[in-house]
Amino acid sequence: MNRILKVIPLAVVLVLVAGIASAGKYAGKSDIVDVAASNDSFSTLVTAIKAAGLVDTLKSDGPFTVFAPTDEAFAKLPEGTLESLLADKEKLTQILTYHVVAGKVSSSQAARLTSATTVQGGNLAIDSSNGVTINGAKVIQADIAASNGVIHVIDTVLIP
């Protein structure tokens, strides 16, 4: 696992949230973590990234594609799940890295794919027949630019 994190820069979690109309101002300036931290809809995600010790990885050069669940997505988890994950760094890291794909994949590129391999090592199913979904999670905002990749906001936490 540590080898993967050192070899492949981390960029998971798809598009940030429908409240970032000003995402363009971040392009080339702020990394994935900074962009997420600047939006209140990603406070749970940022807390999880910190708890997993992935801040430095997601601030590295990348590029990464992150399928980013919103706070509402985390709230849909069964009661006690989030607290349990935050206390289990290894499992939390597995879940978070399952939201990251190495490389910068735009929404138009993703729409032409049927799958993508995550930094965690698992595969994500991509379906663009009725909007874009990742393992059934709906992309609610795409192509939020960061200096080290792109974020696509999703409505569900992906579980490997």
User: CATH no. for residue 81?
Assistant: 2.30.180.10
Model confidence pTM above 0.85: no
Domain span holding position 114: 2-154
In a domain, 28, yes or no: yes
In a domain, 80, yes or no: yes
Three-state SS for 101-118 is EECCCCHHHHCCCCEEEC
Closest of 139, 136, 159 to residue 16, by C-alpha? 139
Compute the average pLDDT of residues 74-96: 95
- What's the rounded Cα separation, in Å, for the pair 151 and 35? 9
Tally of CA atoms within 13 A in the half-sphere of 47 that contains its CB: 13
**Whether the predicted pLDDT of 22 surpasses 90:** no
Check residues 118 and 20 and name the one with the higher pLDDT: 118
For residue range 120-160, list pLDDT tens digits in order.
Answer: 999 999 999 988 999 999 999 999 999 999 999 999 999 99
Q: Give whole-number Cα distances, 13 to 32, 46, 70, in Å.
A: 10, 11, 10
What is the structure's pLDDT at 79? Answer: 94
In a domain, 71, yes or no: yes
In a domain, 148, yes or no: yes
Average pLDDT over the chain, rounded to whole?
84
In a domain, 9, yes or no: yes
- What's the rounded Cα separation, in Å, for the pair 96 and 33? 13
In a domain, 160, yes or no: no
In a domain, 159, yes or no: no
Domain count across the chain: 1
- What's the rounded Cα separation, in Å, for the pair 74 and 49? 13
- What's the rounded Cα separation, in Å, for the pair 66 and 155? 13
In a domain, 97, yes or no: yes
For residue range 1-10, list pLDDT tens digits in order.
Answer: 333 333 333 3
Binned at pLDDT 50, 70 and 90, residue 65 comes out as very high
Compute the average pLDDT of residues 11-37: 54
Binned at pLDDT 50, 70 and 90, residue 29 comes out as confident
**Whether the predicted pLDDT of 84 surpasses 90:** yes
Residues in the chain: 160
**Whether the predicted pLDDT of 20 surpasses 70:** no
Compute the average pLDDT of residues 96-114: 94
What is the structure's pLDDT at 9? Answer: 33
